[in-house]
Amino acid sequence: MEVMTGTRTAAAGAPSAPATPRSGRRRRADGRVAALFLAPGLIGFVLFIVVPLGGSAVISLYEWPLFGSPAFVGLDNYAKLFGDPAFFTALTNTLIFAFVYTALNLVLALAIALWLGTRLKGAGIWRVVFFLPVITPMVANALVWRLMLSDDGALNSALGTVGIEGQSWLSDSRFALAAVIAMSVWQSFGYNVVVITAGLTSIPKEILEASRIDGTNPWQRLRHTILPMISPSLFFASTMTMIGAFQVFVQAQVLTQGGPGESTNTLVLYLYRNGFSFDRLGYASAIAWMLFVVVMLVTAVQFAGQRRWVNYDK
Amino acid sequence: MTVRHLTTTVAAVTGLAVALTACGGGDDNTSTTGGPLALYTWVSSQSDREQWESFIAEAQKEDPDLEITVEGPSFADYWTKVKTRFSGDDAPCLLTTQAARAQELGSLLMPLDDLVEEHDFDLSEVDESMLEGMTVDGSLRAIPYDAEPVVLFYNADAFAAAGLTPPTTEYTREQFVADATALTTDDHKALAVTPGMFIPAAWATAGDASWLNGDGELDLTNGDFVDEIQSYFDLVAVDGVANAPNAADASDVSQQAFTSGQVDMLIEGPWMYGTFDEAADFTLGVTIVPSPSGQPHGMTAGSGFGIAATCDRPDEAFEAIVALTSTGVQESLAASRGIVPARAEALPAWAEGKGAGAADVVSALLSNATAQVTTTTWNQVETLMTQYSVEGFRGERSAEEIMQTIQDSVGG
C-alpha cells in the first residue's frame, strides 16, 4: 500500500526533514492523495450543504412560486417576516419546545442511564425497550399518541377510572404544546440514554471507589464525580438534542396540525407550509435562513459555555 | 492501490454517476412527439388507477383511436407536484383539477373557450355551477366530469327510533337543530364535524353567504359569511349536538364515527354514498345541507379535465376531453364508481342502487347550486381554518375573530 506508507513517512518525518526537491514532490503527492481522500466527503458537503444553502439564500430574495417565473424582491421577504405575527408565534413555540424538550430529555435520559448503571437485572433488555421508540417511525408514534390523547382516548379513560376528569390534550391551547413535547421526549430520550450510558461506563472504577472510600454519599458522587466525568457526553447530547429540537416538524404536523390556533405551530412546519402548500418558496427560504441563524446562535452559545462545565480530563 | 489507480477509479465512478443521472432524466416526451396523450392526475391507489383506466376504456368506445397514458402522484401530493411537473419541458398535455383548485392552477391551464367554439362543444348540457367553478379570469379552464353537491347523510333508523320525520329535499336549520338535539344524549352526539373550511363553506352556501366579494376576492369578514360560520360553530359550542374535533382529525374520523353509529348525521360529499352504504349497518338517508329557509342551495365540488398551457396538441387534447366527458362515459362511471355526473342526463345512472329519494336530493341541490369557487390563496385559508376552527367549535374564539385573523394572514 504505497499511499499509506507515504502518508506515514510524511507525518513522521515532516518536522525535521530538510526541504529537498524530493520531499517537495512527495509533499505535493501527499497533498493530491489527501485531496482524493477528502473528495467524497467534500463533494457531498458542497453539493448537498453549500450549494443548497447558497441556493436558498438566493431564492429568499425572490418571490418564487413552484410554477411560473420568479420575481426579484430584494429583502422584502425578510421585512415581511419581521411583520408576520405567525412567524413570531412559531419562533416562540419552537424556542419553548427546544429548551423544555432538551431539558426534559436530558434529565430523563440521565436518570434512566444511572438506573440502568446500577446492578440491575436485565439492564440490556431495558436499554432496548427505551431505545425502541427511537427506531420506530416518528409518524407511526405520533399517530398512536394522537389516539391516546384524543378526547375519548386511553389517557382520559385511564384518568376517568381514578376519578380524574380528562382534558382535551390536543384541542386545548393550554395543553397542546405540552402534549407535543411529551410525545417528542418519549420518542427520543432512548438515544441519549445510550450516549450517557457510554459516558458512564467509561468512568474508571478506581475513581468511584476512591470517592466512596473518601466517604461521599451517592448525591455527592453524582454531583462531584460522575457528572463532571460524563460532561463531554452530556455536552454532545445537549447540543445534538437542541439542534434536532429546532427542526421539530412531524410531531406538530401529525398530532395537532399546528393548532389549536397557532399554539403548536413550529418554524419548520410554518416553513414547509409556506414552501409547499402556500406556494411561497422565497418566503419559506427566508424562514429557513432565520432558523439557520437561530440554531447557529444557540449552538455557538452552547460551545462557548462548555468551557465552564465540560471536563475533558481523564 | 496506487495514486494513479485511485484517480482512475474516482474518474470512473464519477463518469458512471453522470451517465446514470443522464439516463434518469424525465419521461418520454408524450406531448410533442405524437403518440398517446399523457394525462397527469392523482393516483393515490389502485382504485384511483382503475377509475382513470375506466374513463379511458369508456372514452375509447366513443373514439376508438384515443390513446391516453396516465401518470401522477397521490392526491395529497398532487397539488404541489403538478406545478413542478408542468414547469418541465416534457409536461403532459392533459391534467385534472378540482373546481376548488382551478384558481390556484389557473396559470397551468389553457383557456378552452376557443376550442369549445371550434369543436361545437355543447356546454349547455354540463352543470352550470361546475362550469363556473372551472372558470378562471373569465375563461373556461377545464371540462368537469362530475358535479357533486354536498349533502347531509343521516341514520334513517335513528330518526325512526326517535320518532323524527326523515328530511328529504327541504330541511330548515331550525328543524335540523331540533332533530339533532332530540338525538343527542349525555354520551351520544347527533352530528360529527371536522376542522377545515370545506364543510363550513357548504353550510354558508346553504345560507346564501359567500366568502368572496363581487370581484372574486377573498372576503371572509363579510357579515353574512361570519354569521354562517358562527352558526356552524354554535352547533358544538352552544347547541352541543356535536363534539369539538381535534385540529389533526382528518375527515375519516368523522366518517368512521358516522358509519359506526357513534353519531347520526354527517355533512359530506355524495361521492361517499357507496362507501357509507357499504360500511353502515343502518338505513342510509340523504338530505340537503340545512338552510335557514329550508330550501336547497347546494355547494358543488367536482373535478374536470383541462389542457396544459404548454401543450402543443390542443386540438387532439380537446377531442380526448370531449370523449372523456361524454354522456356515455359519465353514465358508466356514475354506475360503477358512484360519481355524480356533470351531465344531468347521466344522473339516472347514479340513482341506480341508491336509496329512495337520493337522486331527488341531488337534483334539488343541483337546481340551485354554487360551485366552490376559491382564490389562489385558498390552500392557506383551508390550513388556517383547520388550525383555528377548533377554537371556534370550543367557543374560545368567535367566528368574527377567526375570520379576521385568517383574512389578515392571507392578506386579501
Domains for chain B: give ranges and CATH numbers: 37-147+302-351 (3.40.190.10), 158-298+377-410 (3.40.190.10)
For A181, the grid coordinates are 413535547
Q: Is the pLDDT of residue B110 over 80?
A: yes
pLDDT digits (tens, 9 = 90+) for A180-189: 999 999 999 9
Range B267-282 average pLDDT: 93
pLDDT (0 to 100) of residue A2: 37
| Cβ–Cβ gap A170/B247 under 8 Å | yes
SS3 for A163? coil
Please tell me the distance from the alpha carbon of residue A258 to that of residue A247, in angstroms, as a whole number. Answer: 14
Q: Do B394 and A168 touch (CB under 8 A)?
A: yes
Whether residues A156 and A55 fall in one domain: no
Statement to judge: residues A50 and A155 lie in one domain: no
* pLDDT confidence of residue A301: 94
Inside any domain, residue A66: no
pLDDT band at B352 (very low <50, low <70, confident <90, very high): confident
Residue B198's nearest CA partner among B229, B155, B236, B234 is B229
**Residue B396: closest CA among chain A residues belongs to which residue?**
A172
Mean pLDDT, rounded, for A42-65:
95
Q: Kind of pairing, strands B148-149 and B298-301? A: antiparallel
pLDDT in tens, B117-169: 999 999 999 999 999 999 999 999 999 999 999 999 999 999 999 999 999 99
A137 part of a folded domain: yes
Residues of A with CB under 8 A from a CB of B: 1-3, 29, 32-33, 36, 39, 65-68, 86, 146, 150-151, 168, 170-173, 253-262, 265, 273, 276-279
The alpha carbons of chain B give a radius of gyration, in whole angstroms, of 24
Q: Note whether residue A24 is domain-resident.
A: yes
The rounded distance, in Å, linking the Cα atoms of A106 and A190 is: 10
Question: Does residue A92 sit in the same domain as residue A51?
Answer: no
Q: Tell me the per-residue pLDDT of A265-292, one tens digit each, with 9 for 90 and over.
A: 999 999 999 998 888 999 999 999 999 9
The whole-chain average pLDDT of chain A stands at 89
Closest CB from A146, A255, A276 relative to B80: A276
For residue B18, is pLDDT > 60? no
pLDDT band at A20 (very low <50, low <70, confident <90, very high): low
Domain annotation covers residue A109: yes
Question: Is the same domain home to A22 and A147?
Answer: no
Mean pLDDT of B7-33: 41
Mean pLDDT to the nearest integer, B306-318: 95
CA distance A134 to A193: 11
State the residue for C-alpha cell 401543450: B311
- Name the helix (H) or strand (E) containing B68: strand B68-71
Which residue in the set B377, B386, B390 is minimally distant from A171, CB to CB? B390
B70: enclosing H helix or E strand: strand B68-71
A71 part of a folded domain:
no
Query: Which cell goes with A195?
Result: 450516549
Does B13 score more than 60 pLDDT?
Answer: no
Q: Which residue would you say has higher pLDDT here, A23 or A85?
A: A85
Cell (9 digits) for B352: 341506480
Give the CA distances from residue A175 to residues A158, A259, B177, B205, B385, in Å, rounded to whole numbers and listed in that order.
18, 11, 31, 34, 20
To probe the interface with A, which of B6, B9, B246 has the most A CB atoms within 10 Å?
A: B246
CA A258, A176, B79 angle in degrees (round to 5)?
Answer: 20
Averaged confidence pLDDT in chain B: 90
Cα-flanking dihedrals φ and ψ of residue A165, to 5°? -75, 130
Instruction: Please judge whether B2 and A3 are an interchain contact, meaning their C-beta atoms are less than 8 angstroms apart.
Output: yes
| Strands annotated E in B270-379 | 284-287, 298-301, 303-307, 369-371
Query: Helix (H, G, I), strand (E, B), or coil: what is residue A214?
Result: coil
**Is residue A178 assigned to a domain?**
yes
Euclidean distance between CA atoms B371 and B362, whole angstroms: 14
For residue B4, the model assigns a pLDDT of: 47
Does A32 share its domain with A153?
no
Residue A255: give the domain boundaries. 77-309
Query: Are A48 and A83 members of one domain?
Result: no
- Band the pLDDT of A121: cuts 50, 70, 90: confident
For A144-181, b/e burial (b = at least 16 CB within 10 A) is ebbebbbbebebbeeeeeeeeebbbbbbbbebbbebbb
Q: Are residues A148 and A295 in the same domain?
A: yes
A28 pLDDT above the threshold of 90: no
Same domain flag for A183 and A273: yes
Q: What is the CA radius of gyration of chain A?
A: 25
Task: Count CB-CB contacts under 10 A for residue B224.
Answer: 14
pLDDT for B27 beyond 50: no
The 3-state DSSP class for residue B96 equals strand
Asked if the model's pLDDT at residue B344 lies above 70, the reply is yes
Per CB distance under 8 Å, which residues of B are interface residues toward A?
1-3, 6-7, 10, 80, 83-84, 86-87, 104, 107-108, 195, 243-248, 377, 379-380, 383, 386-388, 390-391, 394, 396-397, 409
Pick the residue from chain A with its C-alpha nearest to B406. Answer: A261
Looking at chain A, which residue has its C-alpha nearest residue B249? A256
On whether residue A87 sits in a domain, the answer given is yes
- At A304, the amino acid letter reads A
Whether the per-residue pLDDT at B3 is higher than 90: the answer is no
Cβ contacts of B139 within 8 Å, gap of 6 or more:
B111, B112, B113
Residue B213 neighbours by CB distance under 10 Å: 11
**Domain end: A11, A30, A59, which one?**
A59
Does residue B36 have a cis bond before it (omega within 30 degrees)? no
The answer to whether residues A180 and A264 touch, using CB atoms and an 8 Å cutoff, is yes
Pair A193, A274 in one domain: yes
Going by pLDDT thresholds of 50, 70 and 90, the confidence category of residue A22 is: low
Q: How far apart are CA B218 and CA B204, in angstroms?
A: 15
Residue A57 has which C-alpha cell? 439564500
User: Can you read off the three cell numbers belonging to residue B212?
Assistant: 368572496
With 0-12 / 13-18 / 19 or more C-beta atoms within 10 angstroms meaning exposed / middle / buried, residue B115 is buried
Query: Do β-strands B37-40 and B94-98 pair in parallel, antiparallel, or remain unpaired?
Result: parallel
Percent of chain A with pLDDT over 70: 93
Q: Is residue A69 part of a domain?
A: no
Looking at the fold, whether A156 and A231 belong to one and the same domain comes out as yes
pLDDT band of A18, cuts 50, 70, 90? low
The count of domains in chain A is 2
> What would the mean pLDDT of A4-10 be, rounded to a whole number?
39
Q: Find the length of chain B.
A: 412
**What percent of chain B is modeled with pLDDT above 90?**
80
The DSSP code for B176 is H
pLDDT band at B247 (very low <50, low <70, confident <90, very high): confident
Taking contacts as CB-CB distances below 8 angstroms, the residues of chain B near A67 are 83-84, 86-87, 107-108
Mark whether A89 and A32 lie in a shared domain.
no
Same domain, A109 and A146: yes
More confident residue, B203 or A205: B203
Number of C-beta neighbours around residue B268 at 10 A = 25
Contact of A66 with B87, CB cutoff 8 Å: yes
Q: What whole-number distance in Å separates Cα of residue B371 and Cα of residue B301?
A: 6
The pLDDT tens digits for B39-48 are: 999 998 898 9
Picking from A2, A93, A171 by the largest number of B CB atoms within 10 A of its own CB, the best residue to mutate is: A171
Determine how β-strand B139-140 pairs with β-strand B135-136: antiparallel
Half-sphere exposure of B45 (CA within 13 A, CB side): 1
Tell me the C-alpha distance between A254 and A257, whole Å. Answer: 6
pLDDT at A201 over 70: yes
- The one-letter code for the residue type at B1 is M
Contacts of A2 in chain B (CB under 8 A): 1-3
CA nearest to A182, candidates A256, A99, A100:
A100
C-alpha cell at B224: 353574512
CB contact under 8 A, A261 and B388: yes
* Mean pLDDT, residues B218-244 taken together: 97
CA-angle at B190, arms to B184 and B196, nearest 5°: 135
B286 DSSP β-pair partners: B153
Please compute the mean of the pLDDT values over residues A98-113 and round it to a whole number: 96
Residues of chain A with C-beta less than 8 angstroms from the C-beta of B87: 66-67
- Determine, for residues A66 and B80 on separate chains, whether the beta-carbon distance falls below 8 Å: yes
Indicate the pLDDT class of residue B355, thresholds 50, 70 and 90.
confident
> Mean pLDDT, to the nearest integer, of B202-209?
97
Rounded CA gap, B199 and A174, in Å?
A: 27
- The predicted pLDDT at position B89 comes to 80
CATH code of A184's domain: 1.10.3720.10
